[in-house]
A and B are shown apart, each in its own frame.
Chain A
Amino acid sequence: MNKRKFVARRAVAWHRFEQLLDRLDTISLRRFSPAETAEFSRLFRELCYDLSLIRSRDWGRGLVSYLNDLVSRGHNAFYSSPPGNLAQVARFLAVGFPQLFRRNIGYFLTAAALFFGSLGITWAVVQNNPALATRIVDAQTLRQAEWMYSDHSSKGKPGSQADDEDWQNAPDFAGQRSFMAGFYVLNNVGIAFRCFASGILGGVGSVVFLLYNGIFIGALAGDIIATGHSEKFLSFVVSHGSFELTAIAVAGGAGLMLGNSLIHPGQRTRLESLRVRGLEAIQIACGAGAMLVIAALIEAFWSPSVAIPNPVKYAGGGVMWILVFVYLSTAGRWESKP
């Protein structure tokens, strides 16, 4: 077979394949008619053969790179992963994420110990000695937080109803809540993802994030309780705290997973270990992100509402903590493990 003759004979098929590929740039492979799909498949395999033939005969780089380009574009169109859909997202949250979470529970427990441990200790210390709070949180932020949870009135008891109702009846109350929901998503999910991603630095980044946030939140909480705003503060945080704090620990655990895969690769090479566990860690981190979105909605619309009496908030908060526990510990158990 002569190169010229070969090119002359096959060029028609190549051009046809090129046309199909150009069409694929605008529509997806699934929109092809059955005849087109069959033709695409046949031409693809013919071109694969042509390419290896030309390579083995060494018929020039120009021709090889032309066919290499065509075949690789065909290969991409053929083997591109199917796009996800909402059903898959729902399935991931209902089954995939909790299963993965339980399989790597140790990392979560470590992260939770770091986060809740530092939070609890700082809280206890600062509540007993509020002067220490300024060493951790700057004075202005502290005053702001105290003001937020105060009754905005000189009286200690909820004689401040009028004030609160004014606030709620203000025309922009709903708008303000939505604004805060957006802010919570931006801020909290961002923190969780950073906490996860920085775990790749041998886990150090995640540990720093977990401890920093634990100590910061603990100091704020201790100070607010010590200055006598406990009722409003606790009823505020009890509900969304379930999803929010747990999710931060979950994301931190995913970060520790990345870090530990480098430190203890086991039988794999470090790179291989990073890849295998990284694939699981990212899924856990995304699950934590979803939990934080739920937390943001609760924090914006349920927690600050003055219409709901505090006992209901405590009860609701308790239910949510149980919900988080049940979700993470049982969801997906009915499915066999992959």
Chain B
Amino acid sequence: MLLVMSRSDADPGAAFRVSTDLVIETPENVVLSYRLAGPAVRLLAYLVDLCLRIVILIGMWIAALIGGIVAGGVTMGMFLVAVFLVDWAYFGLSEAFFRGKTLGKHLFGLRVFQEQGYPATIWGALLRNFVRFVDNMSLWGVCFVTMVVSGRFRRLGDLVGQTVVIEERRVRVPREPIILEKIRPLSRTELGSYVPSGQTLALIEEFLGRRHVLTYRRGHAMAFVLARPLANRLAFSGDPHMVDRYPMAFLAAVYATFYQVHEGEDDEDSAARPGAGRVRREQPVGAGATS
């Protein structure tokens, strides 16, 4: 139930990929991926909103009672209008005017998106929340069934309103995982002529950066999967003990040996890289378009 087929127009291969990501291609020709929010977290956000709405109504009720001393009917009339608004407009207006968020969604980092990849429009938000009336039938039964059947966790209201709910992640810049000074590079005499690709080095770097989530033994066991073939490919003739017993150390040493190799491509790279120069030249155009 946690995995759905993700169908995306931006990426034809995605029809066969099982993932909970929503892939959107922006006008800048960049492919962005969002993580879709599942039923559980959305139910929690809904319950938070429900509590908030009840609290608002109780507050309004008390205010109406107090105001009722002066003008009974008028305040009660306003209270009834408030009941109507909380019932029918709370979700819709909140999602339309706070970039696809209600308070409950905000607490759980959820956001309502149009499927085309921008925050919910007013009609999309209103539509998905009017149809909530049908979704809530039979104790959210309609809602859960359509979520599972439709893919991308879309309930009936989402299907009509062309919306999806995504989970927002706040991500930090990955730390530098390897302190190069502490690692002795491998001796060139122990190696053949093969040079690992930048991709392989990036993989090593990422693996070592996340090694603290694994136990010591498990980390070495996983590192071995890469270390052994890599040692063969490099024709590594040094201490075989190092590859078999401490594959993580071996990978770190490989990284320390080769991370500067790709440095040489630097000049040719920046010549072949049109973006850096072009983007700066485009600056006045962008400024004109947005101001």
A, B from the same assembly = yes
Q: B187 near A: Cβ within 8 Å?
A: no
* A270 to B160 Cα, complex, angstroms: 11
Stretch at the interface among B36-44, B48-56, B201-209, B244-252: B201-209
Most buried by A among B117, B174, B206: B174
- Contact indicator B133/A75 (Cβ below 8 Å): no
Interface size on B, residues (CB 8 A): 81
Chain B, range 132-175, C-beta contacts under 8 Å to A: 132-134, 156, 159-162, 168-174
A63 partner residues in chain B, CB cutoff 8 A: 173-174
- Contact indicator B134/A200 (Cβ below 8 Å): yes
B77-92 vs A, CB cutoff 8 Å, 1 = contact: the mask equals 1111101100110000
- Contact indicator A278/B83 (Cβ below 8 Å): no
Name the distance in Å between B1's Cβ and chain A's nearest Cβ. Answer: 21
- Contact indicator B198/A57 (Cβ below 8 Å): yes
Q: B73 near A: Cβ within 8 Å?
A: yes
Q: Which of B119, B126, B263, B286 contacts A41 (CB 8 A)?
A: B286
Nearest opposing residue in chain B for A80, CB measure: B119
- Contact indicator B26/A3 (Cβ below 8 Å): no
* Known A42-B283, A190-B87; contact A60-B203, beta-carbon cutoff 8 A: yes
* A76 to B32 Cα, complex, angstroms: 11
Stretch at the interface among B11-19, B214-222, B227-235, B268-276: B268-276
- Contact indicator B77/A180 (Cβ below 8 Å): yes
- Contact indicator B266/A34 (Cβ below 8 Å): no
* Known A57-B198, A174-B73; contact A274-B126, beta-carbon cutoff 8 A: no
- Contact indicator A189/B84 (Cβ below 8 Å): yes
- Contact indicator B74/A175 (Cβ below 8 Å): yes
Chain B, range 106-120, C-beta contacts under 8 Å to A: 111, 117-119
- Contact indicator A282/B127 (Cβ below 8 Å): yes
A331 partner residues in chain B, CB cutoff 8 A: none
- Contact indicator A65/B169 (Cβ below 8 Å): yes
A78 partner residues in chain B, CB cutoff 8 A: 290
- Contact indicator A66/B171 (Cβ below 8 Å): yes
Chain A, range 149-201, C-beta contacts under 8 Å to B: 172, 174-183, 185-186, 189-190, 193-194, 196-198, 200-201
Name the distance in Å between A14's Cβ and chain B's nearest Cβ. Answer: 7
B21-65 vs A, CB cutoff 8 Å, 1 = contact: the mask equals 000001011111110000000000000000000000000000000
* A189 to B83 Cα, complex, angstroms: 12
* A267 to B122 Cα, complex, angstroms: 27
Q: B184 near A: Cβ within 8 Å?
A: no
Q: A286 near B: Cβ within 8 Å?
A: yes
Q: Which of B118, B202, B210 contacts A75 (CB 8 A)?
A: B118
Name the distance in Å between B267's Cβ and chain A's nearest Cβ. Answer: 10
Stretch at the interface among A47-55, A110-118, A120-128, A305-313: A47-55
Q: B226 near A: Cβ within 8 Å?
A: no
Interface size on A, residues (CB 8 A): 79
Q: A131 near B: Cβ within 8 Å?
A: no
* A51 to B74 Cα, complex, angstroms: 57
B265 partner residues in chain A, CB cutoff 8 A: 1
Most buried by B among A55, A71, A72: A72
B199 partner residues in chain A, CB cutoff 8 A: 57-59
* A89 to B289 Cα, complex, angstroms: 27
* Known A42-B283, A177-B73, A279-B123; contact A185-B206, beta-carbon cutoff 8 A: no
Q: A236 near B: Cβ within 8 Å?
A: no
Name the distance in Å between A192's Cβ and chain B's nearest Cβ. Answer: 10
Q: Which of B97, B130, B287 contacts A282 (CB 8 A)?
A: B130
Chain A, range 70-127, C-beta contacts under 8 Å to B: 71-73, 75-76, 78-81, 83-84
- Contact indicator A183/B286 (Cβ below 8 Å): no
Name the distance in Å between A104's Cβ and chain B's nearest Cβ. Answer: 15
* A75 to B26 Cα, complex, angstroms: 8
Nearest opposing residue in chain B for A188, CB measure: B84
- Contact indicator A182/B160 (Cβ below 8 Å): no
* Known A38-B287, A189-B88; contact A69-B170, beta-carbon cutoff 8 A: yes
B260 partner residues in chain A, CB cutoff 8 A: 2
- Contact indicator B156/A200 (Cβ below 8 Å): yes
Q: Which of B80, B159, B160, B263 contacts A186 (CB 8 A)?
A: B80
Name the distance in Å between B118's Cβ and chain A's nearest Cβ. Answer: 4
* A282 to B132 Cα, complex, angstroms: 13
Q: B280 near A: Cβ within 8 Å?
A: yes
- Contact indicator B79/A182 (Cβ below 8 Å): yes
* A190 to B79 Cα, complex, angstroms: 15
A44 partner residues in chain B, CB cutoff 8 A: 28
A174 partner residues in chain B, CB cutoff 8 A: 73-74
- Contact indicator B159/A285 (Cβ below 8 Å): no
* Known A3-B202, A11-B173, A38-B286; contact A176-B81, beta-carbon cutoff 8 A: no
- Contact indicator B77/A183 (Cβ below 8 Å): yes
Q: A38-B290, A78-B290, A274-B159 are in contact. List 7 more A-B contacts (CB 8 A).
A: A46-B275, A57-B198, A58-B202, A59-B202, A66-B172, A75-B32, A200-B131
Identify 11 residue pairs between A and B in the complex whose beta-carbon atoms are under 8 Å apart, listed by A's number.
A2-B198, A57-B198, A58-B202, A60-B203, A75-B26, A172-B73, A175-B72, A182-B80, A186-B81, A200-B160, A278-B127
B residues adjacent to A (C-beta < 8 A): 26, 28-34, 71-74, 76-81, 83-84, 87-88, 96-97, 99, 111, 117-119, 121-123, 126-127, 130-134, 156, 159-162, 168-174, 176, 198-199, 201-203, 205-206, 209-210, 259-260, 262-263, 265-266, 269-270, 273, 275-276, 279-280, 282-283, 286-287, 289-291
Nearest first, the 8 closest Cβ-Cβ pairs linking A and B are: A175-B73, A182-B80, A182-B77, A62-B174, A38-B287, A178-B77, A41-B286, A179-B73
